[in-house]
Structure 1
Amino acid sequence: MHILINSYVIYKPIIPNMSAYDDYIANTINPILRQLTIEVVKAKPENPVTFLIDLLSTRLGVNNAMSEKEELRILRQELARLKQKRVGSENEKTDSEDDEIEDIQPKKQSARSGVSAEAYGQWNKKGTFKPPVHHKTPEQRNRIIAKLSTSFMFVALDDKDKEIVIEAMKECSFPAKTEVIKQGADGSELFIVDTGILSCYKNIKGEEKHLKDYHPGEAFGELALLYNAPRAATIIAKTDSILWSLDRDTFNHIVKDAAVKRREKYEAFLSKIDLLADMDPYERSQLADAFITSKFNQGDYVIKEGEEGNNFYIIEEGEAIATKTIKKGHAPEQVKHYRHGDYFGELALLKNQPRAANVVASLPMKCVSLDRHSFKRLLGPVESILVRNAKKYEEIIASLV
């Protein structure tokens, strides 16, 4: 494919002395236009201009909030037009239809209010609440407590609230290949995996994409409760599975506020990290849920050269340095400086090798981390970037030897 075969023909009418720009056009402009043309031809969008704007915005990390607002405005207009044509039970459907449109982009309020009451809708309004109670054996209670301690949404609950949640949970059994929740359906409960493995699929542009597998201790189905949205994905039991379900009312009164604050905090943090910019929002929300927070004092070793590596880290606050023994018998030398948003620890997980360097907190530092298992299943969409950056790091080390 050739772009701008004759630069003179295209540019001569508007640029005098065109020959002075030939090198710039050939070496700088043409490669960009060639790649953009290839992307357009592959996608064959109905509106190439809009497609190119979105493509460039994504690559540059530009916020598309205005285009999303415009899309929301158009959808609202279309909904209003359809409602006028409805006959019969229009009023009975109005609330749910409005909620569907709101779910495209939940309204943001102040930091104090988090996700607004409008985004939660009528389903999530707090009224008189009497939590359900489902009898459990001591062994079942112990299993639930163990699972809650590993699930991000429940770790911040105090003992009293945790007890209410335990009593309200209901045991559900699903044979292998059973559909637990379906993308697009209404949702009134979340689930915590007790035993078994379940697969998560999401229909993206007509293609059924496998996002992840859920293992014991993990929770799913909370998006429909948090944002009064249809189910965001389909979950199918991969093996015979036992789950604990929690109803909407109990979740709304006991768990929601803590979960919303934590998720919003980490989603905002992750959205600003270049490495994760192209991840699907659903994938990024799952990543936020899996993170564990760790704090380090100045001078603390986060990882040590030669040790087995089982965690991947992203710096939320503070700074760190990487040091490595370049010459045997000599003190480790500084090879890298990490700041807010930088990540480290991926080399050992990508290559199943011992830690290649030390990472030491040079200031008091807070990190979020993923264990080896979560790293492998949640960072698949960006693994190629991690591998490429790992090669750059190896080149830095080689230049020092």
Structure 2
Amino acid sequence: MFCLDKCLQSIRRKLGMQPTRPRGVPSSTAGGRRKSVFAEAYNPEDDDDDDTQKVMHPKSDIQRARLAAAVKNIFLFRSLDVFQMQEVLDAMFERKVTPGESVIEQGDDGDNFYVIESGQYSIYVQPDGAAAPKKVGGYDSSGSFGELALMYNMPRAATIQADTNGSLWAMDRQTFRRIILKNAFKKRKMYEKLLESVPMLKTLEPYERMNLADALVPQTFNNGEIIIEQGDDADGMYFVEEGTVRIMRAEHNQEERQVSTVTKGGYLGELALLTNRPRAASAYAVGEVRLAFLDREAFERLLGPCMDVMKREMQQYEQELRKVFGTDVHIDDLK
């Protein structure tokens, strides 16, 4: 299962019912909905990209810019790399809606995943035995919907109706699974392997490393690009996937001097999180560097079992600083 499982399972429980088409909500004008697809089991390990025809819907430069703006904050896309995001943009197509139009209907098979560019939408659910659907929420010019049925081979759990004219961007079922679900599967496997090589994390149970892998977000930096800047507030820490990171520190407004380097399997940025202080040093990419970022909230939630190890390593960091600067540097003095 993937990082959204707990969230989606919660939704299923809240909406738990035998889905039926809501009465009293207008039927879709879109037509062409797919039926009887729930026997289509999807296994990411069996999916070979080389055997799959990639979907591409031509777009004008203006359309592509609008789409990029619409998807930039979509949670499902945040772990995709640059090339995968380009494939997402290629695969999505625009759908205009009018007031009263049902985009998806409860009980239908899942055909598309939708990202909202504009318009207002209402969410209706008809519980078992109810005479009419009930409005349970809505969207206003942002957000996404429709992933649940695609991820779990289940009928639509709700009806989404347009309240105003609007614009949506859609991705078909097969493309969604191939890009989003397979990427989530590959990402977990890749990061689990990376985390297994980090000595600090040896104290974690396998399921704890799995949760940590799901929380990591890939980031890429080019040669000389700054990753962390001394004095900044800490928003998270990094694990090095590929490449080398140079750690630099300036003392008393003097020129920066190199403290250490971090290579594949190493990590950086944890010090400020442990001490709740600003960054004690700057970090720069040496060549192209691929990192896995863990935000502050996930750090506090997932790395509790490793805190003692990290605090012991803080003392080693003090020793490195003393070698470089020749002063009696203490962690408590780093600001």
Higher helix share goes to which structure? 1
TM-score of the superposed pair, with normalisation by structure 2? 0.48
Larger radius of gyration: 1
Higher strand share goes to which structure? 2
TM-score of the superposed pair, with normalisation by structure 1? 0.41
**Looking at both structures, which has the greater relative contact order when contacts are Cα pairs under 8 Å and sequence separation is at least 6?**
2
